[in-house]
Structures are given as C-alpha cells and as structure tokens.
Amino acid sequence: MTAGTAGAANAQRIREFKMPDVGEGLTEAEILKWYVRPGDTVTDGQVVCEVETAKAAVELPIPYDGVVHAVNFDEGTTVDVGTVIIAVDTDPGAGPVQGQPGAGEAPADAAEEDAEPQGRQAVLVGYGAAPSSTKRRARKPQPGAGPQPATRVPHASVGAPSEPVTAGLQAELNGRGAPAPAATAVAVAEPPAVPAAGRPLAKPPVRKLAKDLGIDLAMVVPTGPGGVITRDDVHAAVAPVEAAPAVAPTAPAVGVPAAAAAVGAFDAARERRVPVKGVRKATAQAMVASAFTAPHVTEFITVDVTRTMKLVQELKQDPDMAGLRVNPLLLVAKAFLVALKRHPEANAAWDEANQEIVYKDYINLGIAAATPRGLIVPNIKDAGTKALPQLAAELGELVATAREGKTTPAAMSGGTVTITNVGVFGVDTGTPILNPGESAILAFGAIKLQPWVHKGRVKARQVTTLALSFDHRLIDGELGSKLLADIAAVLERPKRLITWG
C-alpha cells in the first residue's frame, strides 16, 4: 500500500476530536482529568475528560465509537480551542493502523532523511533554507552572493557540514572567533534587535496573552513551526524583564540597618507559587476590567429586618414551601427584584462600542458563589417573573450546582444585576465590584441582634447593613439611592412584597 493510500485509510479510521469552544468565545481550556487511556473502548456520547475553562468545569463527550488511539495532552495542560486532544480508531477490528511503524522500524520521515543526497549541507541559523510547514522550495544561491540574514531566529540548529565553513561565518558561529570543534557547528540564537517586517505569526490566545503581559510580539523570538510564536515564547520574553531588577540590587542607604534594607527580600523555601488560570484567572481579569472601566459608586444603609426574619420562620412552616430552602437571602433577592420593578431604568447595560445605554426588560439575577476553583456568578434567568416558591427552588439548585463545580458557562452569562452574601462569613458589609456588563451589585451583610430605636423605645432588634455598588454612567446618585432605599423598605416591612410586587 502506498503512503498516500495508507494516509487516506488512516483518515477514515482515526477520528480526531478537537478541543471545542465550550463557552462563549473562549479560546482555551485546561484538561483537569482523563477518564480514558489509549486502548480503552469508547462509545458515542461517553464522557472522556473534564476540562476547565475561564468560566466553569465541563465534561466532554466523545462523538465516536471505537478504541482510543492516542491521548495528546496530560492532565493539567492548557490547550487552545481547536487543538486535537484525543484520537479514536473507529475500526479497531481491521488490524494495525496502516503506515504506523512497528518495532524496529524507522518512521517514514526518518527514512526520507536517510535517503537525502550526501551532498546536502547543514545551514546556519537564519541562513539559506529552513524547514517550513508550507514545503517551500529553497532559493538557489546566486554566484558570489553571501548568505542572507533573517530578521527572526526561531531556534538554534546543530549540524555537521560536509564542506569547510568560511572563516567569517565560523567566527560568528562560535562566539566571536572562538575555535570551533571539527565535527559540529553550533549557532546560538539571540533575540533580534529590531522587529521583523510584517505582522508576527501567533494564534489569538497567544496574542491575548502577550497583550495581558504587555509584551510586543514583534520582539518575541518564535519557536513554533513556520515561525509561529507560542505561549512559551511569550513567557520566555517576560522572564528577562522580571529578572532584570535582580541584576543590580540597590545599595542600602547610609544609616539604614541591613535588616530594614532587605524588607523586599523573600524566603523561597517558605513560599508557594500557584499558576493563575481557569476560573480564578478569568475572575481576576474581569474584576480589573470592571474596576477600571465602570465608574463605581457604593451607598450603604442599615435596616431593621426583624419582621423579615419572622417571615422566614413562617415560610419554613408553609406547605407551599415544603422541601425548599428558605433563608434570608431568598427574601433579600425578592426585595431586590421588587425594587428593580419599581425602578426599571436601573436594570441596564453600557454599550461602549455603539455609545448606547441598553435598557433590559428582563432581570437575570446573579448570585456570587465561592467554589474550590474560585468565585463564580451564575444567574437565575428571568428572575423577576418567578413566584417565591419557584425562586427558592432555582436559588437552591444554583447554589448546589456551583458547590459541585458543575455550573455551565451558559448559567453564568447574560447577568444583569448580582447579589453577594458576605454575611455568611460574619462580615457586616463591603464595597463589591460590579460583574462586567451589569449595572448594580448588592452586598448583603450579617444579621445581628443590636440595640435599635423601635416605636420610640430602644429594643434589641435584628439588624443588617446593605451596600449597593452601581455603574454611575447608568445610575445616578438619585436613582441609586431610591433603589437601595426601596430594598431596605421591603426588608423592614416585608408585606410590601405584596403591595409593591
């Protein structure tokens, strides 16, 4: 069977499964766990691995029947969307895959290299023809013309030239005139001093990484096939920048003790470094973007919620709420929804590209949830249309799913406002940062028994503090104050859930 025929047969048998875009425009995902290994039998729809995107952990089913032929990445590897992660032999009964080298056989590409004419010379890095995925033919050297230096040096090459190397090139090759070994010639690549002509070659995730790290791709040395810049190339470009301050430490000032001058030093043996990726990385980037894009304003109000706490206890005994989780957060969420119904202009988004305010006639209520993988904010779709029992059911399901790490990207998209319950940690309140694209976020603090003036007398009452952060481009001080005051009013007298709802 010819190589072409074998390749066609393999293409029919070996089906490759690529990393899908499991979110909305996500560019990469980390492989958390493989459930199969090479040689395992799989069926269409069987979950083969779990991956973590910037939004959630997702299980990936394989769309083929057959036997696992290859698993291309280890657990813990971050893979770009569209990259083949697993291959399945869909016809394992047909025998070994054609064209695969057996024991003691040399791969086809190695055989081709052995068959090359002996007269072929190894070339210096940046000179002459270089391997390329496009299989471009090497340009014929012109008589008397010297080697043409390239502006990009992807990697160092090691070769054994069959003819003598000129003295000038030998000196460059071996570090400014150092004597060269007779058998090998080694070229050490250095980053180019000037950017290459044209746009650097890199995938969108790599371009985003370079942008986040403040690296100019034109100054990065590529090592990928065909001169493509990889993630490792970008990180390698960052390393010298980070290491630069350590080269010339600042001398301590006169009169300053040595211990005081070494405040910036650290003991690496007592530190742990954890890569920032997945949900935690996405959260950090989103919070930075939100904090420095939307002008935040936070207002506070302390409210007597004694009547609300009594209603919580009554609802727990109500047959209509049987089997549902009833807690103060449920009524805070309902109060927020009622207040937004009274002030619908607060439920909006800022469209920077079109310079428009988008007013929304639906409320997707986000609930900030702490999970082992970091903070996520799933939301209840059309929460403003749901009765209290339905809202309680969806709120309970949302929290349980988040704790299990099974929240889907769809459940975290499209939010309009959010509640963060810092009171569960015993915190009075805070100044929460807006979830990107949303207009407001309400922090619900701890409920504590405090002295309070009630009906002209000081009594012990259940009191909490609410904090509302909002985008001042969308919500001015008057609107924000009215919205927060109405939330507090409902919690102070929960019968307003009926009269206002």
Interval 185-203 mean pLDDT: 54
Residue 477 CA to residue 117 CA, distance in Å, equals 80
| Residues 380, 391 contacting (CB under 8 angstroms) | yes
Q: Which amino acid is at 476?
A: D
- Tens-place pLDDT, residues 121-154: 433 333 334 444 444 444 444 444 444 444 444 4
User: What's the pLDDT at 249?
Assistant: 47
Residue 100 CA to residue 105 CA, distance in Å, equals 9
Residue 498 CA to residue 501 CA, distance in Å, equals 5
Over the chain, what is the mean pLDDT? Answer: 78
- Tens-place pLDDT, residues 220-278: 889 988 888 988 888 888 765 555 554 444 444 444 444 444 444 567 888 888 887 77
Three-class secondary structure assignment of 440-498: EEEEECCCEEEEEEECCEEEEEEEEEEEEEEECCCCCHHHHHHHHHHHHHHHHCCCHHH
Question: In this structure, what token pair is assigned to residue 278?
Answer: 């997945």
Q: Which amino acid is at 211?
A: K
Q: Is the pLDDT of residue 72 over 70?
A: yes
Strands of 57-61's sheet in order across: 57-61, 47-52, 28-34, 78-80
Residue 470 CA to residue 347 CA, distance in Å, equals 10
**Percentage above 70 pLDDT, the chain:** 70
- Tens-place pLDDT, residues 351-400: 988 999 999 999 999 999 888 777 889 999 999 999 999 999 999 999 89
Q: What is the separation of C-alpha 65 from the centre of its chain, rounded to a whole number of angstroms?
A: 31
Residue 417 CA to residue 349 CA, distance in Å, equals 10
Residue 5 CA to residue 17 CA, distance in Å, equals 22
Sorted by where each starts, the structural domains of the chain and their CATH numbers stand as 3-94 (2.40.50.100), 203-238 (4.10.320.10), 295-499 (3.30.559.10)
Residue 55 CA to residue 22 CA, distance in Å, equals 10
Q: What is the separation of C-alpha 117 from the centre of its chain, rounded to a whole number of angstroms?
A: 49
Residue 80 CA to residue 22 CA, distance in Å, equals 12
- Tens-place pLDDT, residues 303-357: 999 999 999 999 999 999 999 999 999 999 999 999 999 999 999 999 988 999 9
H-run or E-run covering 300: strand 296-304
Q: Which of 296, 343, 454, 472 is labelled catalytic?
A: 472
Task: Tell me if residue 296 is catalytic.
Answer: no
Backbone angles phi, psi at 452, to 5 degrees: -145, 140
Q: Is the pLDDT of residue 110 over 50?
A: no
| Residues 87, 16 contacting (CB under 8 angstroms) | yes
- For the four alpha carbons of 420, 421, 426 and 431, in that order, the dihedral sign comes to positive
Q: Is the pLDDT of residue 103 over 80?
A: no
Query: In 3-state terms, what secondary structure has residue 491?
Result: helix
Residue 345 CA to residue 360 CA, distance in Å, equals 8
